[in-house]
Structure 1
Amino acid sequence: MHFLLLGATGRTGQHVVSDLLSQGHTAVALVRTSSSLPSRPGLTVVNGSPLSKPDIKRALSATPSFTTSAAIITLNTVRKSESPFAPQVSPPRFLADSCANVCEVLGKAGIHRIVVMSTAGVGDSWANLPWASRVFMAWTNIKYALEDHGLVDKEIRLTNMDWTLVRAVRLRFDDSTQKPIDTKADVKMMGSGGVGMSMADSVKVSSVSKFLVKVAVEGLFIKGAVVVRD
């Protein structure tokens, strides 16, 4: 299968690239700076922005010998630092507008499958977040990312796309000092609402990546959302 990728330079997106290529798939990645994603066999890198429909169209046409099967979006908003109180750098509606652009361009090209990485706390999963998590999100600048993911969640449901929203709980990034975790094991799925979420829940980026690829390749959870954790 051949995929359009947005967010391929991010920590989850890089795993998605590796997982797709290792399974024999091909992909074209739309990135802001082409040098930020090294070229690899099976990967085509196109310089551009997800906020530009012409750039997305260029990415789709960059590999004329391949027919795009689906898009996988792992974009997120950006703050000035990792601090949850750091000012937001991304423009308002960055995620929502990017997703809307991709849906429009794909739809006109006759491509209807899209898988989007979201976050626990969006939509009907908000009520099932631990109260401490809700307070933390509401009182830090993480709330802006949550609001943007929420707009994606609402607006993508109004499209004719075969969408899937993967709502990850707290992301756990690779740490070489920790004992390796078996990333071959499937993530635990908690429905769209994430009933039973706890403060201890987390999911490794590599686990989310494998799940995103699996959902896209196998056509799972079409027109649905799912909360995942390790």
Structure 2
Amino acid sequence: MHFFLLGASGRTGQHVVSQLLSQGHTATALVRTSSSLAPRAGLTIVTGSPLSNSDIQSALDASPSSPSATIFTLNTVRKSDSPFAAQVSPPRFLADSCATVCGVLEQAGLKRIVVMSTAGVGDSWGQLPLLSKGFMRLTNIKYALQDHGILDNEIRLTKMDWTLVRAVMLKFDDEKPTDTKKDVRTLGSNGEGMGLGDSVSVASVASFLVKVAIEGLFVRSAVVVAN
């Protein structure tokens, strides 16, 4: 199968690339900087913005075959990893990028998209532990949560066959794309049973995103995942 990737140069996105290629699939990645992703056999890299209709169309045109699905792992950017660091990404970066991508894909007759989201969005907010809610409200992580929330609401109005994968707290200990992935638990759309100590590795999330895209799981629904 062939896949179209947004966010492929990110921490989770690099795992998605490695797992797709290791399984014999191919992918086209739209990246903002050509040097952000190393060339590999089976990977077509196109430079452009996820906010540009023409750049997205150029990436699709450059694909060796029509994508079976799109995997969207873009995230907002802060000046550092500190939760208190200033936000760099503009408001609605995720929502507008996803809307732009979905618009181009719909016109091309491509409906399947799997989006990496975060626990706390939509109906999963009510199941978050109180300390997690307080942390999100008091730090600049709240801006990413708000953007994911807008994306979550708006993608439901499209004709796309979307899946929203809501990851609990991400663990970045295993940032190398070759690290071993672990199984995930699925906790439904609202994340019932989430605990304060729950986390999920980036390799595990990437593996689940790939599985969902390949097997056509959780179409037009959201799912919370944890290790």
Partner secondary structure for residue 209 of structure 1: helix
Amino acid in structure 1 at the alignment position of 2:127: N
Q: How many angstroms does 1:135 deviate by?
A: 0.5
Q: How many angstroms does 1:175 deviate by?
A: 4.6
List per-residue Cα deviations over 1:54-99 (Å, max 9, x = no partner). Answer: 1000000002x41111100000000011111111000110000000
1:156 aligned partner? 155
Within 2, Cα distance between the matches of 1:161 and 1:12? 23
Residue 196 in 1 paired to residue 193 in 2?
A: yes
Residue 214 in 1 paired to residue 211 in 2?
A: yes
Alignment of 1:127-146 (within 5 A): 127-146=126-145
TM-score by length of 2: 0.97
Within 2, Cα distance between the matches of 1:60 and 1:182? 31
Q: How many angstroms does 1:155 deviate by?
A: 0.2
2:32 aligned partner? 32
1:42 aligned partner? 42
1:71 aligned partner? 70
Alignment of 1:118-129 (within 5 A): 118-129=117-128
Partner secondary structure for residue 115 of structure 1: strand
Residue 81 in 1 paired to residue 84 in 2?
A: no
2:91 aligned partner? 92
Q: How many angstroms does 1:35 deviate by?
A: 1.1
Gaps of 5+ in 1: none
1:2 aligned partner? 2
Amino acid in structure 1 at the alignment position of 2:46: V
Amino acid in structure 1 at the alignment position of 2:17: V
Q: How many angstroms does 1:132 deviate by?
A: 0.3
1:175 to 1:70, Cα distance in 2 relative to 1, 3 A = closer
Within 2, Cα distance between the matches of 1:14 and 1:90? 20
Amino acid in structure 2 at the alignment position of 1:201: D
Partner secondary structure for residue 68 of structure 1: coil
TM-score by length of 1: 0.95
Within 1, Cα distance between the matches of 2:215 and 2:84? 39
2:221 aligned partner? 224
Partner secondary structure for residue 166 of structure 1: strand
Partner secondary structure for residue 68 of structure 2: strand
1:182 to 1:43, Cα distance in 2 relative to 1, 3 A = closer
Residue-pair matches, total? 225
Within 2, Cα distance between the matches of 1:175 and 1:27? 23
Gaps of 5+ in 2: none
Amino acid in structure 1 at the alignment position of 2:60: L
Within 2, Cα distance between the matches of 1:107 and 1:100? 10
Amino acid in structure 2 at the alignment position of 1:24: G
Within 1, Cα distance between the matches of 2:153 and 2:16? 25
Q: How many angstroms does 1:174 deviate by?
A: 2.6
Stretches of 4+ aligned residues off by more than 2 angstroms = none
Q: How many angstroms does 1:182 deviate by?
A: 5.7
C-alpha RMSD of the superposition: 1.4
Contact 2:174 2:203 in 1 (8 A): no
2:53 aligned partner? 53
